[in-house]
Amino acid sequence: MIQQSNCYMPSLQALRAFDALARLGSLTEAADALSLTRSAISHQMRLLEDQLGLKLYERRGRGVILTPTGQQYAHEIRRVLAMLDHVHANLPDHEYNGHLRVSMPPGFAASVVSRSINDFYRNYPGIRLHIGTNRENEPPNPANLDLFVVHGDGAWAEHSVEMLAHPMYTPVCSPGLLNELQIKHPQDLERATLLHLNNDHDWRLWLSGSGTKAQLQTESGVYFTNILLVVSAAITGQGIAIGDDVVCGDTLKRGQLVRPFDMQIRGDKAYYLVTPHRNADDPKVRAFSDWLKVKLNLFRQA
C-alpha cells in the first residue's frame, strides 16, 4: 500500500486520466478514451505527480511505461474507481432521469460541449439531454428550456446568472493565408478580406483595444450570421476573422488557425450560465452545470 505523508485527495478527473493512461499505455489513446485533448491528459498527469510527490510513469517512444510505484498506484486506483462506479450504479437514480433542454451559442456548443458530450452521458445515462443553439446576446426564454449558456453582458436579473468565461479576442486566419499575404503587421490587414459575425463591432473593438495605429476599413469584407461559418471561412483561407479563445481554442491548438499578431484584448462580452430560478435546485441542471464548468476549465487549460 502506498503511504502518503499528507491527506490530500487528488481530483477524480486526474485519477481517471491516470487509470486510462495506465491501461492504454499512450497519452493519445488515453485522451481519446476520455474525450479530452492529449495536452489535457499531460496536464492532469503533471498535477497528479506534483500533488503526490511521486514519479508514476516514463515516456518510451510514442508510449509510456509505469514506474514500479506507478504500477502499484494504478492497481489501487483501478480498484477504488471500480468501487465508486459500483456505488454510483446502485444509487437511486430517479433524480437524474428525464429530459434536460439546454440552449447555447453554436460556437460554444461545437468547440466545448460536442467534443466531449459522451462523457456526460456515461455519467448520467438517465438524463435525456437536448442541446439547441441561440443567437449572440439572445435573451434567455425559459418557456421550453431548462438551462442556458449565453454570450452577452450578463444582465438577466430575473434568472440566476454565473459567469463561465471571459474570452480574449484576437485576429485569426489560416497558416496558408498568413504566408500568402505576408501579414506581419496590423497595417497588412488591408490586403485581406475581413470576416464578420453580424457586424464589424469586434473588429472595431480589437483595433481600439490593441493600441494599433493601423487604418482599416472595418466595414469591408463578408458578413455571416453564425460563428461556425466565420470559423470555417477562416480555416479555409477565405479571410481573417476576430476569434475568441473559447470558440477558436481547439482550432488554434491544432494549427488550423493561427494568430498573426500577439495582440489580444479582453472581450466586452462573456459566456454566462443562466438558470431560471425555478430550475435552480433541479439535480439534472446542477449535474450538467457542474460537468460543463469542469470541462470548460480543462479545455482552457489544455
Every domain of the chain and the residues it spans: 12-89, 94-165+269-301, 168-266
Q: At what angle do helices 12-24 and 68-89 cross, to 10 degrees?
A: 120
Type of residue found at 27: L
- The CA-atom distances, in angstroms, between 215 and each of 42, 52, 69, 207, 272 are 43, 54, 60, 9, 34
Q: Are the C-beta atoms of 289 and 273 separated by less than 8 Å?
A: yes
Confidence class for position 115, pLDDT limits 50, 70, 90? confident
Q: Determine phi and psi for 6, rounding to 5 degrees.
A: -125, 175
We find that the CATH architecture of domain 94-165+269-301 is 3-Layer(aba) Sandwich (3.40)
Tell me what pLDDT residue 1 has: 47
Q: How far apart are CA 64 and CA 57, in angstroms?
A: 6
The whole-chain average pLDDT of the chain stands at: 88
Inform me whether the pLDDT recorded for 187 exceeds 70.
yes
C-alpha cell at 158: 430575473
Q: How far apart are CA 105 and CA 165, in angstroms?
A: 13
Neighbours of 156 (CB within 10 A): 17
- How far is Cα of residue 174 from the mean position of the Cα atoms in its chain? 21
Neighbours of 53 (CB within 10 A): 10
Helix (H) or strand (E) holding 131, with range, is: strand 127-133
The answer to whether the 94-165+269-301 and 168-266 domains have the same CATH topology is yes
Confidence class for position 299, pLDDT limits 50, 70, 90? confident
**β-strand partners of 265:** 169
**Which of 123-137, 191-205, 218-232 shows the lowest mean pLDDT across its residues?**
123-137
Tell me what pLDDT residue 89 has: 61
CATH of the domain spanning 168-266: 3.40.190.10
CA dihedral 73, 78, 79, 80 (to 10 degrees): 90
- The fold for domain 12-89 equals Arc Repressor Mutant, subunit A (1.10.10)
Per-residue DSSP letter, 191: G
Tell me what pLDDT residue 87 has: 62
**Cell 446568472 belongs to residue:** 161
Inform me whether the pLDDT recorded for 201 exceeds 90.
yes
pLDDT in tens, 222-279: 999 999 999 999 999 999 999 999 999 989 989 999 999 989 999 999 999 999 888 8
Mean pLDDT of 192-204: 95
Q: How far apart are CA 25 and CA 61, in angstroms?
A: 11
Percentages helix, strand, coil for the chain, rounded to the nearest 5?
45, 20, 35
Question: Cα-atom radius of gyration of the chain, to the nearest Å?
Answer: 22
Type of residue found at 45: M
Query: What is the reported pTM?
Result: 0.68
**Cell 470558440 belongs to residue:** 247
Question: What contacts 208, CB < 8 A, 6 or more positions away?
Answer: none
Specify the 3-state DSSP secondary structure of 149.
Answer: strand
Q: Are the C-beta atoms of 13 and 298 separated by less than 8 Å?
A: yes
Tell me what pLDDT residue 4 has: 47
Type of residue found at 44: Q
**β-strand partners of 131:** 102
Q: Are the C-beta atoms of 234 and 221 separated by less than 8 Å?
A: no
